[in-house]
Structures are given as C-alpha cells and as structure tokens.
Amino acid sequence: MNQSDITNRLKRLKNNYRLVLMNEDTYEEVVKFKLTRLSVYISMSTLFVLLVALTASLIIFTPLKYYLPGVGYGNVKQIKEFRMLKARTDSMEKALNQQHIYYENIEKVLKGKIVIKDTNNLKMPKLENIDD
C-alpha cells in the first residue's frame, strides 16, 4: 500500500455520518445520531470486551464453573481423594470379575461340564543329552 491509500482510509474513518430513526407512520424523527466509522468501531470493540469480561467473571466467580468439563474439581485434597476412590473401585471391579469366573468354574465342576484334556497330546520339552 502506498501512503495515499493509508491517508484516505484514515480520512474515511473520521468522516461524519448521520443515523436517523424515524417513525414509519408519521415520518417523525425519533432519534438522531452523529457517527463516524471510528466511533462505531470503538463502541463495538468496547461492547465486545465488556461482554467477554462479563462472561469470564460469571464463570470464574459463580458456581457455573462446576458445569464446565475439566474445570471445577475442587482443591488438591479432593483430587487425591477422587483418585484414591477411583483406584479402589477399579480394584473392587476386578475382584468381582475374578469371583464371578471362580463361581462359574465351581458351577461347571458341580454340574459335571468339565472338559477333560488329554495329557497324551501335551508336548514335553526336549531334553538334551549331555555327553561329557
């Protein structure tokens, strides 16, 4: 861009515009605003920053943070307790599964549904002759 384009853009930011709100039935001017592109840009930017600040403060300073995933898990003590309880429940679940398999095997033995394996088909490890 050359220097004249930059100066033209800056001049356009400072050009005055008029925004008029009129009553459609009577054509009476209700409100008039004298605006520039720069003032509209500044007001929109300020509004955006205020909305972001309001949203952030609502999340940070209210209980809404507990509804966000990964944010509101509490203090360090609660996190340690949560991990300990998770480990205990995992080990209890594993023990319950092992107990279930054990009872299923006992039930098979009592009902006589045991699969007898032929020991003749088992392969024995080869022994090497050691001749010294």
What digits encode the pLDDT tens for the residues 36-54? 999 999 999 999 999 999 9
Q: In which domain, by residue range, is 16 found?
A: 1-72
Q: Residue 28: inside a domain, yes or no?
A: yes
Together in a domain, 34 and 89: no
pLDDT band at 129 (very low <50, low <70, confident <90, very high): low
Quote the Cα angle for 110-115-119, to 5°: 125
What is the rounded distance in angstroms from the CA atom of residue 52 to the CA atom of residue 46? 10
Together in a domain, 18 and 35: yes
More confident residue, 91 or 9: 91
User: How many domains, the chain?
Assistant: 2
What is the rounded distance in angstroms from the CA atom of residue 41 to the CA atom of residue 35? 10
Together in a domain, 32 and 85: no
pLDDT score recorded for residue 68? 76
Together in a domain, 87 and 42: no
More confident residue, 122 or 112: 112
Mean pLDDT of the chain: 85
Q: Residue 33: inside a domain, yes or no?
A: yes
Together in a domain, 68 and 78: no
